[in-house]
Chains A and B, each alone.
Chain A
Amino acid sequence: MSTFPTDFADLEPFADWALATEGERYAKRLSSSMDELQAFYDAVFPRLEPAMAYLDAHDLNALPDDATRLLWLCYSLINASFPIEVWRQTRVPDSGAAAVELVVEPAV
Chain B
Amino acid sequence: MPHFAKPADGSWTEHYPHLGTAPVSYEDSISPEHHELECKAIFARTWLNVGRVEQLPRTGSYFTREIAAAKTSVIVVKDKDGTVRAFHNICRHRGNKLVWQDYPGEEVSGTCRQFTCKYHGWRYGLDGGLNFVQQEEEFFDLDMADYGLVSVQCEVWEGFIWINLDPANETSLQDWLGEFGTGLAGYPFDQMTQVYKYRALVGSNWKLFIDAFAEFYHAPVLHAKQAVADESHKLMNVGYEALAYQLEGPHGMVSSWGGMAPPRDLNMVKPLERVLRSGLFGPWDRPIDIDLPPAVNPARSKAWGIDSFHFFPNFMLLIWAPNWYLTYHYWPTAYNQHIFEAGLYFVPPSNATERLRQELACVTFKEYALQDGNTLEATQTMLESRAVSHFPLNDQEILLRHLHKTAGSYVEAYQKELATGVLT
Interface residues of chain A, those whose CB is within 8 Å of chain B, are: 22, 45, 48-49, 52, 55-56, 58, 60, 63, 71, 74-75, 77-79, 81-82, 85-87, 92-106, 108
By beta carbon, the residue of chain B nearest A49 is B275
Residues in B whose Cβ lies below 8 Å from that of A81: 270-272
Chain B interface bracket (under 10, 10 to 19, 20 to 34, 35 or more) = 35 or more
CB-based contact A52/B377 at 8 Å: no
A106 to chain B, nearest CB (A): 6
CB-based contact A102/B353 at 8 Å: no
Docked CA distance A101–B371 (Å): 14
Query: Beyond A52-B356, A92-B367, is A98–B373 a contact (Cβ under 8 Å)?
Result: yes
By beta carbon, the residue of chain A nearest B365 is A100
Docked CA distance A96–B372 (Å): 11
B 355-391 contacts with A by CB, 8 A: 355-356, 359-360, 362-364, 366-367, 369-371, 373-375, 377
Residues in A whose Cβ lies below 8 Å from that of B118: none
B194 touches A (CB below 8 Å): yes
Residues in A whose Cβ lies below 8 Å from that of B366: 100, 102
CB-based contact A92/B371 at 8 Å: yes
CB-based contact B270/A103 at 8 Å: no
Residues in A whose Cβ lies below 8 Å from that of B351: 55-56, 60
Interface residues of chain B, those whose CB is within 8 Å of chain A, are: 194-202, 225-226, 270-272, 275-276, 340, 342-343, 349-353, 355-356, 359-360, 362-364, 366-367, 369-371, 373-375, 377
Contact of A78 among B196, B197, B352, B360 (CB under 8 A): B360
By beta carbon, the residue of chain A nearest B341 is A103
A52 to chain B, nearest CB (A): 5
Query: Beyond A52-B353, A82-B367, A104-B196, is A94–B270 a contact (Cβ under 8 Å)?
Result: no
Residues in B whose Cβ lies below 8 Å from that of A60: 349-352, 355
Docked CA distance A102–B362 (Å): 10
A3 to chain B, nearest CB (A): 17
CB-based contact A103/B199 at 8 Å: yes
Residues in B whose Cβ lies below 8 Å from that of A92: 367, 370-371
